[in-house]
Structure 1
Amino acid sequence: MIKYKNYVSWFVMMAFMITIMLPVTPAYAFSVSDLFQATDLNSSKAENDMSTGKGILDVFLGLLLGKLLGSTGNTLTQAGITDNSGSDGQSSKEFVGFYAEWWGTDTASFDSMINNANVIKTIAPFWATLQADGTVTDRGGNDHATVVSTAQQKNMTVLLLINNAKQDGAVPPVHTVLSSPALRTKAIDNFEAYIKKYNLDGINVDFEMVPAEDRDNLTAFMKELSERLKPQGYIVSIDVFPKQNEDNDVAAAYDYAALAKYADKIMIMTYDNHGVWSGPGPIADIRWVENNLKYALRFIPKNKLYLGIAAYGYDWSAQGTQSLDFKSITDLSKRYGQAVQWDDMSKSPYFSYTAADGVAHTVWFENSESIKFKLSLITKYDIAGAAMWKLGEEDPKVWSVLRDTFHK
């Protein structure tokens, strides 16, 4: 017994000396108690161990192993034990980049996707339009297969963004499809075929200006689409107009609560607070954005809700309203020597200028600073993420801001 105690004393002393000499290492996601599966110190067994000296020995062993294992943290992480304490871990928030090609050689979205692959988790290419007869027309653009394979190689999900044909007669094409069960089925058949043709990961339904009378029809369509695609592992998402009540005619067709039953992701288009239909003003007044977000959260689970963010601006004049990307806007500001102003109430940048023809113009837009305030709402309300229209039109500085929230 005395010999046993001598061995224990010797071992404890050696462990203590080694522990002191080893350098301090940072804490990791696991603990010594996890490694030992330590028992409750209030249990009778634990009390007995402590009284015999075994508990003390375990403490020193724990300290010793903690020092030694601290230097192997990377190995343990590779083995499946992840350190989530630092900012280098993947964000739980998702950044979706809407992707569009306005002409055959337009690579703005592609270039932005490639350059910011460490932020973008999903792209939604605007490649298809639903027609009144349930067929789907391809909008053209660059090689779809190459875009998809490149994105997926960079660990991005790719969702087909499909919009509805615009009204050119008495009856909106989208009403014709949504109000007919047969045409809804035909449309879904064509959606599925398109997704499979290009090896896509799912779909993003962007039906806009849907008549209020089609509220239930739109919900039925999303239900049928979900029942077709989800069992096959595809993602089903939808873009919805923002609103703060159900009296908003242009947004009445979106039954938020019902759509949330069938959509995996819902992107609320919180931009175009002012646009071609209005006078000059903020693209996305922060107060307006937050109020729309708060209303949506009454019906849509936060883990399905994505905040829409604009990357562009509008130039208003007596000659009309023009949509511009960030580069074009900054070029205008420099050309006419007009410094960008800041509206603190709406958290938005703007400036005015008089063109060479004497026409007065006012420009409101979004930049990295205004988007920073939008991102704070994602954190404040703990929603799923953000969706930006569109890749390639943004302020280049916005990516350092986005990276803080959406690092992959």
Structure 2
Amino acid sequence: MNDKNGVLRLVRSRKVFLTASLLILFIGAAVCMDELVGPSKEEGQTSELSAWLADWQWQTGLENLDAIKGSLTSLQMFAAYFDQTDSLYFTDSFHEALPEVLKLYEHSGLDHVYLTVVNDQFQPSGESVQKDPALITRLMGTVESRRKHADELIAAVEQYGFGGIELDYERVADEDWDNLLLFFSDLYPRLQEKGKSLRIVLETRAKIEELKLPEGPDYVMMAYNLYGSHSGPGPKADHAFIKELTSRMGSLPGQPYIAFSVGGFDWQEGGKAKALTEVQASILAKQTGSTIRRDEASGSVYFDYTAEDQVKHTVWYADEETLSQWIEVAGQAGYGKVAIWRLGEMQRSSLDLLKQHLK
């Protein structure tokens, strides 16, 4: 009897051990699988993906768009500027690109395609003033100027058939914000009456905690420009930068997007920085035989090389692993609506990573 009980206890303990072992293996496999498929999502988090297509890079941008358009919640055509009379201005590249975009969206139309308007002003000489705060001052200065600007925006989206307007007004003077907020509040219901939407892009410098942004429009927070043409070498964003931004984004109405910038920069020692796409940076690393390293604080990759003229260069850029980490950090803070600046010469692996975001 005692021997029999001992055998039974041994059998039971082995069953428990076997069950526990299988459970551990199952959990481990699930964790590994989760890491393989890409960034995780917080429970109940809304996941959306949008991207910009710039008029000056529309050919290669269109190739990337063709690969991921089924995964995009919306597309933003970055293509509307201003002329010397403060009226909307469209480049020849925009008129070349629009028919090609229409071909890709021939079944669904442009309902989920926005026209992005930026406060860059083109002069008759062909030169442009980028992110001109004085332009915003003039457009927002009076009730009449705001109404005229709104009329022109609405006419443009109706003429071209876009689903909405996105406003990327940067370097706004502090004294112009009150008028700009009035403009947002007036424009949104007018677009809604036409069945159109409004998105508003915000710089990191915007004092979003103090601004009384209206409910209704979608808001997009730029999570880049930590390093760039304005600075020495470094990543466009790092984990601490993203965490700091997401901690501020609770001040924004609705469920805002967080925007990440792909590609990178090549800094010449003692000189200016040159923008690079992901593909260009990858090719440059191979051509120069450089050793690529990954920065733990940002997930970005970087390398150094010496050019033929013996000038030293440092390159930082984002690849699919970088994007995965950035999206993961934002997701952990509760922000799963991601916007990508911009399509064009992205690696296939990065495009595949983005497609996984909605799965």
Q: TM-score, normalised by structure 2?
A: 0.78
Query: What's the offset of the Cα at 1:179?
Result: 1.9
Matches within 5 A, 1:29-178: 92-102=46-56, 106-131=58-83, 133-141=85-93, 142-148=96-102, 150-151=104-105, 153=107, 157-166=112-121, 167=129, 172-178=134-140
Is contact 1:304-1:384 (8 Å) kept? no
**Unmatched 5+ stretches in structure 2:** 1-40, 122-128
Query: In the alignment, which residue of structure 2 is the partner of 1:309?
Result: 260
Segment drifting more, 110-119 vs 391-400: 391-400
Note if 1:389 corresponds to 2:351: no
C-alpha change, 1:196 and 1:171, in structure 2 (3 Å) is closer
Task: Tell me the alpha carbon deviations over residues 44-64 of structure 1, each in whole angstroms, 9 at most, x when there is no partner.
Answer: xxxxxxxxxxxxxxxxxxxxx
Is contact 2:50-2:75 (8 Å) kept? yes
C-alpha change, 1:292 and 1:190, in structure 2 (3 Å) is same
C-alpha change, 1:384 and 1:226, in structure 2 (3 Å) is farther
How many residues are matched? Answer: 305
State the alpha-carbon separation in 2 of the partners of residues 116 and 162 from structure 1. 23
Secondary structure at 1:282 match in 2:
coil
C-alpha change, 1:332 and 1:157, in structure 2 (3 Å) is same
Query: In the alignment, which residue of structure 1 is the partner of 2:222?
Result: 269
Higher alpha-carbon Rg = 1
Note if 1:295 corresponds to 2:257: no
Is contact 1:333-1:339 (8 Å) kept? yes
Matches within 5 A, 1:221-232: 221-232=183-194
Note if 1:197 corresponds to 2:159: yes
Query: In the alignment, which residue of structure 2 is the partner of 1:340?
Result: 292
State the alpha-carbon separation in 1 of the partners of residues 182 and 87 from structure 2. 18
Secondary structure at 1:322 match in 2:
strand
Identical residues among aligned pairs (%): 24
State the alpha-carbon separation in 2 of the partners of residues 394 and 133 from structure 1. 36
Note if 1:329 corresponds to 2:329: no
Note if 1:188 corresponds to 2:140: no
Task: Tell me the alpha carbon deviations over residues 130-165 of structure 1, each in whole angstroms, 9 at most, x when there is no partner.
Answer: 457441011231242441453363577100001012
**Unmatched 5+ stretches in structure 1:** 1-86, 243-249
Secondary structure at 1:397 match in 2:
helix
Is contact 2:119-2:131 (8 Å) kept? no
Question: Which amino acid counterpart does residue 113 of structure 2 have in structure 1?
Answer: V
Structure 1 stretches of 4+ with a deviation exceeding 6 A read: 168-171
State the alpha-carbon separation in 2 of the partners of residues 170 and 138 from structure 1. 17
Identify the match of residue 357 of structure 1 among 300, 306, 309: 309
Query: What's the offset of the Cα at 1:117?
Result: 2.0
Query: What's the offset of the Cα at 1:379?
Result: 2.7
Secondary structure at 1:172 match in 2:
helix
Q: Give the CA RMSD over aligned residues.
A: 2.5
